[in-house]
C-alpha cells in the first residue's frame, strides 16, 4: 500500500498537561492537528519501530476517526503491531494492563477522562510508556518540542483496517490485532480479589449499584459486577458508552453523580453500596448508606485493610499520595511501618515508586486510586477492593469508615473548584501568593497562625528528577492545611483548586459536617489568596 508524506505546519499549543493533550473537538479537527501530535510521538520514540503499540480510548466523539488515523500512521511509521480494543475502545487502566501483559513498547490513550464529550466538547490523547504508565515529563517535553518544528507526517493512503471484529490482520506491513476490551482486564481483577467471597456477600444481601455514566466502564462493570459476581443487570446503570456520555458530565463526584448518591444515601429500598467511574474508567466514587467516602479516606482505608484481598495478602510496601490529597494515608503508613510518599499531582509521578517496589498503593484526591497491578489509576479496581473489604469484614461502608476514624483520627477535608477562571486572573492569584510566601509566616488565622508556607517541589527518590512550582502549601500551627494549585485537565480558561484540611481526634467531633467544620479555613483561604478580589467569584463551582 502506498505511503504518503503530508506537508504540514506546527501548532503552538500542543504541550501536554498532567494527563496528555486535551483540547476541544473543534481544535483537534483542525487540519493536521491530531496527525502532527501523533507524528511527534513517533518521531521522538524510536523504540516503537518494529514493536507493539496498544491503542484504545473511551469512545467519546472523534474516538473512531482518531483510531483510524493512528492505525494508518502507525503502518507508515514502521510500528510492528498495534493491539487495539474492539471498536477502538479500551479503558485507561485496561490500556496499561495490556501494555504490561504484552510487553508493548508503549500505548496511545484517546480520552479527555472526566471532561464532557460530544462534537462541542472535549477530546484528548496521551502516550503511555513501556511500564504502562503516563509518559514522564522528559518524554512529554520532547514530544512538545518536536510538535513545534514538525513539517510533515506519514500515513498509508488506504483506508484503515476494520477494527470492529476481534482477530488479527495485516495492513501495509503492520499487524493489527483487535481484542475484546474487557477480557484481559477482567481476568486480572479475578486474580487480585476474592470473587467467591464478594459473590457470597452479594447473595447474602450486599446490594450494589454502579453508575457507569454512559462511559467506558459500562461493559467492564456489566461483565464483572453483573455477571461474574452475580449482582444482576440492574446493578449497573448508564452502562452503554455513548459519544457524548448521554449528555452528562462523566465525572464521578457528588455533583455529577447526584442521582446515584441520592439512591444510596437515603434509607429505604435503595442499594447498600454505590459507586461510579468516569469517562475513561480511571476514577471512582464510593458511597454507602449514609456515608460518602472521600477519595483521601478511601486510599487510607484500602491501605489499612489491604491484606483481605488475595493480591495484597502479603502486605504493602508503601503508600504514595499526591500533595493535595489529605494526609490520612500517611497516618496509616506510619501505623503499618511502611513507606509514605508525597508527590506532585499527576499519575506519572507514581510510576518510578511502583516500578522500584517502594509503593504498592497510590491515590489522588481527584477520585483516583490504584496500585502496582497497573501504572494508571483504576476506578473499577477500587470498587472491587471496597467490595472485597466489605465482604471480608461483614460490615457496611459507614461502619468501616467510622471504625477507621476511631483508630486513626479523621482528616476533615474538602476541595473547592473554581472552573473556567480567566487564565490571567488565575496566574495573577498564584503569582501573588508565591511572592508573599515569606511574609505570610506568623499571620493570624482565627485562633492559630501560619507556621509554614512554600511552593511545593519534588525530587524523585528513584531517578533524582526535579519538579517545581507544583502548588502553594499553607501549614497552620494547629496542623491544618490550605493548598492552592491550578489544574491542568481543563480545556477552557483555568481551574483553580483550593484544598482545606483539618485533623480531628476528638471522638465527639469525628462526624462533624465537613463544610461547617472547615468554615474557618474556607474563609481564611479566600482571604489569604484574594480569590473573590482576583477572580470575581463569590463561591466555587464544585465542592467535593
Residue 397 and residue 526 in one domain: no
Burial of 356 (0-12, 13-18, 19+ CB in 10 A): middle
118 φ, ψ (degrees, to nearest 5)? 130, 170
* CA–CA distance, 469 with 140 (Å, rounded to integer): 18
Residue 99 and residue 156 in one domain: yes
The edge-to-edge listing of strands for the beta sheet with 542-543 is: 444-445, 448-455, 472-476, 481-487, 494-504, 410-421, 542-543
Catalytic residue among 113, 242, 296, 366: 113
In order of 287, 475, 497, the CA distances from 437 in angstroms are 38, 11, 18
Residue 134 and residue 230 in one domain: no
Residue 9 and residue 109 in one domain: yes
Pairing of strands 52-57, 21-24: unpaired
CA 410 to chain centre: 24
Helix 397-408 and helix 379-393: axis angle, to 10°?
90
How is residue 147 written as a grid cell?
510538535
- Answer whether 213's CB lies under 8 Å from 276's CB: yes
405 φ, ψ (degrees, to nearest 5)? -60, -40
Residue 397 and residue 423 in one domain: no
Max CA pair span of the chain:
74
- Answer whether 524's CB lies under 8 Å from 446's CB: yes
Burial of 302 (0-12, 13-18, 19+ CB in 10 A): buried
* CA–CA distance, 349 with 320 (Å, rounded to integer): 9
319 φ, ψ (degrees, to nearest 5)? -130, 135
Residue 334 and residue 460 in one domain: no
- Answer whether 456's CB lies under 8 Å from 472's CB: yes
* CA–CA distance, 334 with 318 (Å, rounded to integer): 10
Residue 261 and residue 319 in one domain: yes
Q: Which residues pair with 154 in a beta bridge?
A: 5
Among this protein's residues, is 19 annotated catalytic? no
Residue 337 and residue 380 in one domain: yes
The count of other CB atoms within 10 Å of the CB of residue 381 is 28
- Answer whether 159's CB lies under 8 Å from 71's CB: no
* CA–CA distance, 309 with 388 (Å, rounded to integer): 6
Sequence-distant contacts of 432-441: CB under 8 A, at least 24 apart? 432/529, 432/530, 432/534, 433/472, 433/484, 433/528, 433/529, 434/469, 434/472, 437/472, 440/474, 440/528
Residue 49 and residue 93 in one domain: yes
Q: Locate cell 459507586: which residue?
A: 275
Q: Is 290 left (phi over 0), alpha (psi -120 to 50) or beta?
A: left
Query: CA angle 96-102-15, nearest 5°?
Result: 40
Query: CA angle 206-379-213, nearest 5°?
Result: 80
The count of other CB atoms within 10 Å of the CB of residue 507 is 11
Q: For the domain that residue 521 is a member of, what is the CATH number?
A: 3.30.310.50
The count of other CB atoms within 10 Å of the CB of residue 247 is 10
DSSP string, 315-353: --SEEEEETTS-THHHHHHHHHT-EEEEE-SSGGGGHHH
Among candidates 480, 472, 489, which has minimal Cα distance to 521? 480
How is residue 137 written as a grid cell?
515529563
Q: Is 238 left (phi over 0), alpha (psi -120 to 50) or beta?
A: left
Q: Which domain holds residue 78?
A: 3-181
* CA–CA distance, 38 with 21 (Å, rounded to integer): 11
* CA–CA distance, 7 with 263 (Å, rounded to integer): 55
- Answer whether 301's CB lies under 8 Å from 389's CB: yes
The count of other CB atoms within 10 Å of the CB of residue 236 is 25
DSSP string, 163-179: -SS-EEEEETTEEEEEE
Q: Per this entry, what is the length of the chain?
A: 544
Question: Final residue of a domain: which of 343, 377, 408?
Answer: 408
Q: Which 8-state DSSP code applies to residue 8?
A: -
- Answer whether 266's CB lies under 8 Å from 232's CB: no
Residue 327 and residue 467 in one domain: no
Q: For the domain that residue 380 is a member of, what is the CATH number?
A: 3.40.120.10
Residue 200 and residue 312 in one domain: yes
- Number of structural domains (the chain) is 3
Q: What is the pLDDT of residue 487?
A: 83
Among candidates 535, 211, 232, which has minimal Cα distance to 380? 211
Q: What is the pLDDT of residue 146?
A: 98
pLDDT average per 10 residues of sequence, the chain (544 residues): 93 91 97 98 98 97 98 98 98 98 98 94 97 93 98 97 97 97 98 98 97 97 98 95 94 89 84 96 95 95 98 98 97 98 92 96 95 97 98 97 97 94 93 93 89 95 93 95 82 86 95 94 93 92 86
Q: What is the pLDDT of residue 270?
A: 85
Question: Final residue of a domain: which of 377, 408, 439?
Answer: 408
Residue 458 and residue 491 in one domain: yes
The count of other CB atoms within 10 Å of the CB of residue 254 is 15
Question: Final residue of a domain: which of 138, 161, 181?
Answer: 181
Q: Which residues pair with 319 in a beta bridge?
A: 340, 361
Q: What is the pLDDT of residue 491?
A: 56
Amino acid at each position: 500500500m502506498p505511503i504518503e508524506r503530508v506537508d504540514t505546519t506546527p501548532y503552538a499549543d500542543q504541550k501536554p498537561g498532567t494527563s496528555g493533550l486535551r483540547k476541544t473537538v473543534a481544535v483537534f479537527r483542525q487540519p493536521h492537528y491530531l496527525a502532527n501530535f501523533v507524528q511527534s510521538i513517533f518521531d521522538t520514540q524510536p523504540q516503537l519501530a518494529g514493536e507493539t503499540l496498544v491503542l484504545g480510548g473511551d469512545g467519546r466523539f472523534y474516538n473512531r476517526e482518531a483510531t483510524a488515523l493512528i492505525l494508518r500512521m502507525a503502518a507508515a511509521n514502521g510500528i510492528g503491531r498495534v493491539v487495539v480494543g474492539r471498536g477502538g475502545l479500551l479503558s485507561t487502566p485496561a490500556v496499561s494492563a495490556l501494555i504490561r501483559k504484552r510487553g508493548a513498547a508503549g500505548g496511545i490513550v484517546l480520552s479527555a477522562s472526566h471532561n464532557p464529550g460530544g462534537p462541542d466538547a472535549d477530546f484528548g490523547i496521551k502516550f503511555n510508556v513501556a511500564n504502562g504508565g503516563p509518559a514522564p515529563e522528559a518524554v512529554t517535553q520532547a514530544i512538545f518540542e518536536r510538535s513545534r518544528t514538525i513539517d510533515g507526517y506519514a500515513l498509508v493512503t488506504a483506508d484503515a483496517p476494520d477494527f470492529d471484529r476481534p482477530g488479527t490482520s495485516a495492513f501495509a506491513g503492520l499487524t493489527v490485532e483487535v481484542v475484546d476490551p474487557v477480557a484481559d482486564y477482567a481476568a486480572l481483577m479475578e486474580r487480585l480479589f476474592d470473587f467467591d467471597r464478594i459473590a457470597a456477600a452479594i447473595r447474602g444481601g450486599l446490594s450494589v449499584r454502579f453508575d457507569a455514566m454512559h462511559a467506558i466502564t459500562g461493559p467492564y462493570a456489566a461483565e464483572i459486577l453483573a455477571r461474574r459476581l452475580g449482582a444482576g443487570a440492574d446493578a449497573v446503570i448508564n452502562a452503554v458508552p455513548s459519544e457524548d456520555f448521554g449528555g452528562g458530565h462523566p465525572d464521578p463526584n457528588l455533583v455529577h453523580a447526584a442521582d446515584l448518591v441520592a439512591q444510596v444515601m437515603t434509607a429505604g429500598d435503595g442499594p447498600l453500596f454505590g459507586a461510579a467511574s468516569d469517562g475513561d474508567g480511571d476514577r471512582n466514587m464510593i458511597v454507602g448508606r449514609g456515608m460518602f467516602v472521600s477519595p483521601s479516606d478511601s486510599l487510607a482505608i484500602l491501605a489499612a485493610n489491604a491484606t483481605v484481598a488475595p493480591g495484597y495478602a502479603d502486605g504493602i510496601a508503601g503508600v504514595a499520595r499526591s500533595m493535595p490529597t489529605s494526609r490520612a494515608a500517611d497516618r496509616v503508613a506510619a501505623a503499618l511501618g511502611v513507606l509514605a510518599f508525597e508527590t506532585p499531582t499527576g499519575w506519572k509521578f507514581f510510576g518510578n515508586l511502583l516500578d522500584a517496589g517502594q509503593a504498592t498503593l497510590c491515590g489522588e484526591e481527584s477520585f483516583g486510586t490504584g496500585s502496582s497491578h497497573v501504572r494508571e489509576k483504576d476506578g473499577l479496581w477500587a470498587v472491587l477492593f471496597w467490595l472485597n473489604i466489605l465482604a471480608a469484614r461483614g460490615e457496611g461502608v459507614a461502619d468501616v469508615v467510622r471504625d477507621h476514624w476511631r483508630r486513626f483520627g479523621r482528616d476533615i477535608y474538602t476541595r473547592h473548584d473554581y472552573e473556567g477562571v480567566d487564565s490571567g486572573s488565575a496566574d495573577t492569584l498564584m503569582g501573588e501568593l508565591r511572592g508573599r510566601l515569606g511574609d505570610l509566616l506568623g499571620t493570624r488565622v482565627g485562633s492559630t497562625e501560619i507556621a509554614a508556607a512554600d511552593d511545593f517541589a519534588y525530587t524523585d527518590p528513584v531517578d533524582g528528577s526535579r519538579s517545581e512550582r507544583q502548588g502553594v502549601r499553607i501549614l497552620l500551627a494547629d496542623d491544618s492545611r490550605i493548598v492552592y494549585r491550578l489544574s491542568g485537565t481543563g480545556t477552557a480558561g483555568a481551574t483553580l483548586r483550593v484544598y482545606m484540611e483539618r485533623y480531628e481526634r476528638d471522638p465527639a467531633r469525628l462526624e462533624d459536617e465537613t463544610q461547617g467544620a472547615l468554615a474557618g479555613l474556607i474563609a481564611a483561604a479566600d482571604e489569604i489568596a484574594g480569590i473573590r478580589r482576583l477572580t470575581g467569584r463569590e463561591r466555587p463551582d464544585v465542592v467535593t
